[in-house]
Structure 1
Amino acid sequence: MKLNLNINADVGEGIGNEHLLMPYLNSCNVACGGHAGSEEEMDRVVRLAKSNGVIIGAHPSYPDPENFGRVSMDISSADLFTSLVKQVRSLVKIVRSHSLNLHHIKPHGALYNDAVKDEGVAQVIIEAVKGFSAPISLYVPYGSLIADMAQSANIKVCYEAFADRTYQNDLSLTPRTQKGSVITDPNLVWDQLCQMAINGKVITAEGEERPIEVDTFCIHGDTPNAVEILKFIREKSS
């Protein structure tokens, strides 16, 4: 089945498999120090992305490497804004050193999930994006509060969906603490991807059908068989 898919992955998070992922990606989201990543790691990943023609985005998070950015933080809006801008600027500097531009920002982990419903968190992210002179897109979930707020602020939104994660009825992701939250069977990943890409629907973990719009699909780079899944998807869609 021929499908023109746009696929992204989170990279630079210490897994070290980026050289295997890049040939299958359209864009990547580079960790920039909040939950993972160092200047050396960012530079290595940017070089790989450039050599593979992969679009580069920033993947900032709550400043919480101990929890890999997957736990909500009690942090002031001012401190969160400062941290996000610092993280993205560190990547922008490296991207520009390779004569490239930053294409997008995709919040990571708990920050991504909180921005779906928390107006305060969403506003901080939006203000951080607006602080950069060049136009930068925002990768966000369909139907989320941050998507609506970003569009109202004239920020280009790219609807992202997860082919390797299960969904709840409200279109939030099933928490990783719950069994079955991550899909590792390439066939099941493909089935969910096709449902979203072709039918504009997703079957939730509770068995309900929900409408969804998708511009780019994420495959998590830290899923143990991520490369196998990506290769399978590209072969099936070619």
Structure 2
Amino acid sequence: MARSRTDDDDALLPPTAAVEVESHDGEPADGRALRAERRRNERREAILQAAQRVFRDKGYHQASVHDIIDEARIARGTFYLYFTSKQEIFAVLVDEFLRLIRTQVRRISLEPGADAPLEQLRANFRRIVLTVVGHDDLASIILRDPTSFDEESRARVNLFFDQALQLIEDALRVGQGLRLVRECDVHLVAVTALGGLRLALVHMLEAHGEDPGVRARERSFEHPERVADELMAFFLRGMTPPVSPLPNP
């Protein structure tokens, strides 16, 4: 007796193969191909979400492909239809996180009617901080000590921070052009800013964690918008009082 086709069978088909399958219910072949592609995309996303949870709970080093398979409730073969290894799925997650961060950075507009440049910078900061909080599973993995990563994954995380550093350097140069940032060694200041930002975000994630004792200790980091405003004020003015007060949030 021939067995019935399953979703996993569809996932095994190359994109063109689904078009070649003749529909038995009158549905156009291209419609069947689109449904199969949608199922593949949904399953891939479900595996990525499961991997995030596993990496968060077990840490990168202790997590295994088997753990991800169990969390996603899929067959081992299904995992390898989408990813070749733990390293590959981690690389995809890191790249996606950087893409999310990049989408939160808006170019400063000097067009009539645009918000003041300082307010636009503040909005960029807030969006980045809120993105970190909204994706805390992945952020907590990337922002913490990377020494537990294997060489390939450590290189991927280092690349993430190199690209984040470039974003900060670009923002500083824009700020200098707008006379919001003093003349300085842009690379040195960007490295210092990134180090402080990274540590502050780790504390903020702990303030939103499950340990009540840690949450109480990190109460200063409880409100992401306040964290963003304090960080920006510090990066712009240091510890000296501003000549003219910064606008209220």
TM-score interval (norm. to shorter): under 0.3
Flag the structure with more relative contact order, 1 or 2, with Cα contacts below 8 A and sequence separation at least 6.
1
**Structure with the bigger percentage of strand:** 1
**Structure with the bigger percentage of helix:** 2
TM-score by length of 2: 0.26
